[in-house]
Amino acid sequence: MHLLLPNPRGFCAGVRMAVDVIDQVIELFPGQTIFCYHEIVHNKHVVGRFQHNGVKFVEDLDEVPQGGIIVFSAHGISPAIRKQAADRKLTTIDATCPLVTKVHAEAIRYSRQGYQILLVGHKHHQEVIGTTGEAPDVTQVVESPDDIPNLRIHDASKLVYLTQTTLSTDDAGVIITALKAAFPQIKEPPSSDICYATTNRQHAVRQLAPHCDMVLVIGSRNSSNSVRLTEIAKNVGTDARLLDDASELDFAWFPTGKERVLITAGASAPEDLVADVCRALLTRFGGTIETADIMPEDVEFAAPGNLRKIMIERGIDPATRRFKIESPVVTQALYGAVPLTISAKP
Ligand code: SF4
């Protein structure tokens, strides 16, 4: 079997930051229960590992005792949640990805300028709920071109579209084209709201999947960007499966055992889960691993301001706890006794 691992895959800068934030908060408040509003990132294993360390994930701030410690997830929150936290006198640490915050800022700015906002995204996704909450009276969510006839537009010359950060660039393109056809004067965001990590991971799959027999996407089913990677592989004509971990592998997917398999991971999936899947396949079928460097990434985000403030108050220099993203590297150490033949292809 030939396994192909694209770079980039897995953790993005926003997820790295959010995960590091919780680790840091656990260290800062020993013995205290740390609450997190919503899953810190949409990955069952990341959430499970934090639950194992005592972190409680809640969907309602009423579950957090007055004065408790709450971390807001990477997906962002609405001002109503922020106010509720303040009313309950909670210590808040905001792990919202700065690229989600950018979309919030656009929503605030355009609503103040009198625009109606058409937010392209998935209505029930946490990020879309948070962004909508910035300007609820003037924001409508567009999930598909079919929604366009039902939009309530007051002035077509004062319209702007924004998007969720983790959409398929292909699907979003179809919706945006339809919006522009229906409302030729619609304004665009200053730069794409679909984030660099989503774009790069999708680009890698689009480029490599046509040369493979199967694509495995490691990620959870509620991870928007992982689901999109699976869809993109299928759209280019390659069978694809989304799986949380190696326990969901079915060897019957590989009838010859000599298949060429692209293995990628959503932005919230840890690299050790990728290694587990590779190890399971190589143990069963034997074979080689090749890595393909498609797009270098060097984005990284600093710790959120309120966390830095608490660290300084406690005598910790935030510069010594740099939240750093590293490209996943395939090493023999990660693969134990499984013999590897690693080659790299640009
Ligand atoms: S996928 Fe993009 S928007 Fe979401 S956390 Fe990662 S970098 Fe931020």
The 10 Å Cβ neighbour count of residue 249 is 17
Q: Do 205 and 176 belong to one domain? A: no
Q: Do 235 and 335 belong to one domain? A: yes
Q: Do 205 and 340 belong to one domain? A: yes
Q: Do 244 and 335 belong to one domain? A: yes
Cβ of 103 less than 6 Å from ligand 1: no
**Helix-strand-coil split of the chain, %, nearest 5:** 40, 20, 40
Q: Which residues contact 40 (CB under 8 A, 6 or more apart)?
A: 18, 19, 21, 22, 46, 47, 50, 55, 57, 71, 73, 74, 95
pLDDT surpassing 90 at residue 198: yes
pLDDT at 343: 67
pLDDT surpassing 80 at residue 336: no
CATH of the domain at 126: 3.40.1010.20
pLDDT at 328: 76
The string of pLDDT tens digits covering residues 102-135 is: 999 999 999 999 999 999 999 999 999 999 999 9
pLDDT at 283: 92
Domain assignment of residue 106, given as a range: 99-182
pLDDT surpassing 90 at residue 206: yes
CA–centroid distance, 222 to ligand 1, in Å, is 14
Q: Do 69 and 142 belong to one domain? A: no
Averaged over 301-323, what is the pLDDT?
87
Closest atom of ligand 1 to 41 CA is 5
Q: Do 232 and 333 belong to one domain? A: yes
CA–centroid distance, 69 to ligand 1, in Å, is 24
pLDDT surpassing 70 at residue 220: yes
Q: What is the mean pLDDT of the chain?
A: 94
| Inside any domain, residue 18 | yes
Averaged over 12-39, what is the pLDDT?
95
**Number of structural domains found in the chain:** 3
Q: Do 35 and 155 belong to one domain? A: no
Q: Do 334 and 246 belong to one domain? A: yes
Q: Which residues contact 13 (CB under 8 A, 6 or more apart)?
A: 97, 197, 297, 299, 300, 301, 325
Burial of 94 per CB tally in 10 Å (0-12, 13-18, 19+)? buried
* C-alpha span between 311 and 320 (Å, rounded): 11
Cβ of 166 less than 6 Å from ligand 1: yes
pLDDT surpassing 80 at residue 84: yes
pLDDT at 41: 97
In the structure, what pLDDT confidence band is assigned to residue 318 with cuts at 50, 70 and 90?
Answer: confident
Cβ of 43 less than 6 Å from ligand 1: no
CATH of the domain at 82: 3.40.50.11270
Cβ of 175 less than 6 Å from ligand 1: no
Q: Do 234 and 141 belong to one domain? A: no
pLDDT at 320: 80
pLDDT at 323: 66
Q: Do 157 and 178 belong to one domain? A: yes
In the structure, what pLDDT confidence band is assigned to residue 340 with cuts at 50, 70 and 90?
Answer: low
Residue 127 among the catalytic residues: yes
Determine which residue's CA is closest to atom 5 belonging to ligand 1.
Answer: 14
The string of pLDDT tens digits covering residues 143-187 is: 999 999 999 999 999 999 999 999 999 999 999 999 999 999 999
- β-pair type (159-163, 139-142): unpaired
Categorise residue 53: left if φ over 0, alpha if ψ from -120 to 50, beta otherwise.
alpha
The string of pLDDT tens digits covering residues 253-307 is: 999 999 999 999 999 999 999 999 999 999 999 999 999 999 989 898 989 999 9
CA–centroid distance, 284 to ligand 1, in Å, is 34
pLDDT at 342: 65
Q: Do 6 and 38 belong to one domain? A: no
Q: Do 202 and 335 belong to one domain? A: yes
**Annotated catalytic residue within 127, 134, 259, 271:** 127
